[in-house]
Amino acid sequence: MILIFLGMPGSGKGTQAQLLAQHHNFVQLSTGDLIRHEISGKTPRGLAIQNLVEAGEYVPDEIILELVESNLLRGVKYIFDGFPRTLNQAVMLDKILKERGMPVSRVIQFAIDDKTVSERLSSRLTCMKCNHVYNRMTSPPVKEGVCDECGSTELKLRKDDQPQSIAKRLKVYEEQAKPLEDYYISQGLLISLDASLPAQTVGQQLESLVLDRNV
Ligand code: AMP
């Protein structure tokens, strides 16, 4: 089963993907995480894209597709989190999945407004070690400054969660999102969720979708 999570940065798709992966045996494939891994490892690819990412721009499609293809295993249930993000990526993904006999089951759109996500992103704290995400206001770690999951004390505001990069990321998202949504609507795959609801409610709605035998 392949699920695709579409939504603005800060719409909660990463958090929900993490939870669903834990409880329902999915592998979460986040292109953002793969990219941050390349950057923190200072690989040639990471060094080439670091400036783009920190400025809130998209990484070129070829690099994204190489990263995804090299991490894709047959027979695994995936949640694609933050990928595809452009129409070209979606078309290329279909080709890659077709070759492997792995059709997309559902595309979940996390619908939310700019103002809510800007507020969420600027109070987001990310564990630099295990990528677990907190919100200073609504879901802080149990012990201030310490990751509940791995004990790391490196809980930081990501460079691209600084105000200037946030504005850029939302603009880039809006430019690319519509054709992508239309593509999946035309295939009858898109389901929209109200991502401004509390995380627990969104999680319950997602679970019932995924447990639905018709998915
Ligand atoms: P995310 O953690 O998903 O918000 O991604 C962080 C950053 O990584 C984005 O702002 C982009 O610079 C880059 N990125 C992640 N996924 C993609 C993608 N599918 N296409 C292009 N750029 C991406």
Q: What is the pLDDT of residues 143-152, one digit of tens each?
A: 999 999 999 9
**Residue 7 CB–ligand 1 contact under 6 Å:** no
Q: Is the pLDDT of residue 210 over 90?
A: no
Q: Which residues are catalytic?
A: 13, 85, 124, 158, 169
* pLDDT score of 88: 97
The pLDDT-based confidence of 209 (bands split at 50, 70, 90) is confident
Cα-trace Rg, the chain: 17
For 146, the token pair is: 């310490």
For ligand 1, is residue 169 a contact (CB within 6 Å)? yes
* CB distance 170 to 114 below 8 Å: yes
Give residue 138's pLDDT.
86
CB of 35 closer than 6 angstroms to any ligand 1 atom: yes
User: Which numbered atom of ligand 1 lies nearest the CA of 82?
Assistant: 3
Q: Is 13 in the pocket of ligand 1 (CB under 6 A)?
A: no
The pTM of the whole model exceeds 0.85: yes
The b-or-e profile of 63-97 (16+ CB within 10 A means b, else e) is bbbebbeeebeeeebbbbbbbbbbbbbbebbeeeb
Question: How much is the average pLDDT of 26-42?
Answer: 94
The atom number, within ligand 1, closest to the CA of 30 reads: 3
